Structure formats: C-alpha cells, structure tokens
Amino acid sequence: MKFTVAIDGPAAAGKGTISKAIAEVFGFGHLDSGLLYRAVGIKTLEHGNGILDPVAAEDIAKHLTPEDLRRDDLRTGLAARAASKVAVLPNVRGALLEFQRIFARRDGGAVIDGRDIGTVICPEAEVKLFVTASAEIRARRRFEELKQTNADLTLDSVLNDVRARDKRDSEREMSPMVPAEDAVLLDTSELSIDAAVAKAVAIINERLEQGRD
C-alpha cells in the first residue's frame, strides 16, 4: 500500500510530534526532512570552519550518510540556522529530492514533515497538513525545549531566530514554505498536542476510508 501524509509548517509548530504520533498509530514510516538540511548545514559549517560554502554544501548533500542523520548536535540552534541557510541553495535541495520522494512512496505508508513536502516533494500525497502557530507561541515552546541544555538562552533570542528562519524559509525562491492549495490547516496556537493529533488521525482515517470505497 502506498499512502503519503505530507506535513509542512514553520519551526516548532508541532509537526514533529504530530508526525511521530501518526506514524505510530498507522504503522507508517516517518522521515523528518529537516534533519537532512540540519546535517548538511552542520557538516558544511565544520568543513568551512564556520563558513558555509555553497559548493561544499552541494557535495555534502550528495554524500549524506545514515550516521550523519544520527549526530547528536542536529537539534541545536546552530544546526537550525545553518540548515535554513543551506536550504535556500537549489543544488542542495536538488541533491536531497530523490531520497525524500522514494521515502514518500515506500510500501506500507509514509509520513514526512518539512516545508515543501506537499508542494514539491510529494504533490500527490493522499493527505496534506499545514501545521502552524503564532511565532510567540512557537518561540516559547522552542525556548522551553532548549533551555535545559543552554542556560544562556533567552526567549527574545529564540523569537528572533524563529522569525529570521520563517522569513528565510518563506521568501526563498526555490520551494518556499507555503501551504499546498489542498492542505488542511492545523493551527496549534490554541490546540493541545493531543487535540491536534486527534484531528490529524481523523483526517487520515477519512481518506483511508475513501480509498476503500
């Protein structure tokens, strides 16, 4: 069975949690596509001693390994910033495209979260969700998550980072972050994560039922 759930939206809107829950409920494979860009970003920074060279980034994207995706520094603010900078490069996006498309159509179903899954990677996805929340609420969530490991972090700096990343992600020329025309919008500003998961599960169940008719 091929069945793709594409989940797009800005940072810290709840995409990751919702995706993991869906994968568990339906037994689908899950790919967090942000990890691909984070791994390319952090490896390119290392390669250039702090400088992001576009040619190196493309080469690194072409040769990404499963170990690169298991690095324990991919969730840092540094990796997120580097990710959104290499993500504007068409050659980097191109190098990561095929892997994501193959994953999307794997047997047994797939859920992929990112920024361009419903628009570019898998426009034929059976279910498309665009998960969002206000920048302030997303920054607060990210701050609570990161402050344990970074005592110097301030809410203001996280909010600035979130806004800068939103701007770069939505204004870039290639594959900007926009909801697909047929995506269902899920605003998690006022919605608990359990309620958001329940909505997503209901939408998927409805689509699966239609497939059986």
- Binding footprint of ligand C5P on the chain (CB under 6 A): 11, 33-34, 37-38, 80, 83-84, 87, 114-117, 165, 169
Nearest to ligand C5P of 128, 165 (CB atom):
165
Nearest to ligand C5P of 87, 200 (CB atom):
87
Q: CA triplet 108, 109, 113: central angle to 5 degrees?
A: 150
Q: How far is the CB of 192 from ligand C5P (least distance, A)?
A: 21
Give the chain's radius of gyration (CA, Å). Answer: 17
- SS3 assignment, position 18: helix
Nearest to ligand C5P of 43, 115 (CB atom):
115
DSSP assignment of 95-117, as one string? Answer: HHHHHHHHHHT-TT-EEEEESSI
Q: How far is the CB of 38 from ligand C5P (least distance, A)?
A: 6
Decide: 10 and 169 in contact? Cβ < 8 Å: yes
Q: How far is the CB of 101 from ligand C5P (least distance, A)?
A: 12
Of 196, 144, 206, which Cα lies nearest the Cα of 7? Answer: 196
Nearest to ligand C5P of 14, 34 (CB atom):
34
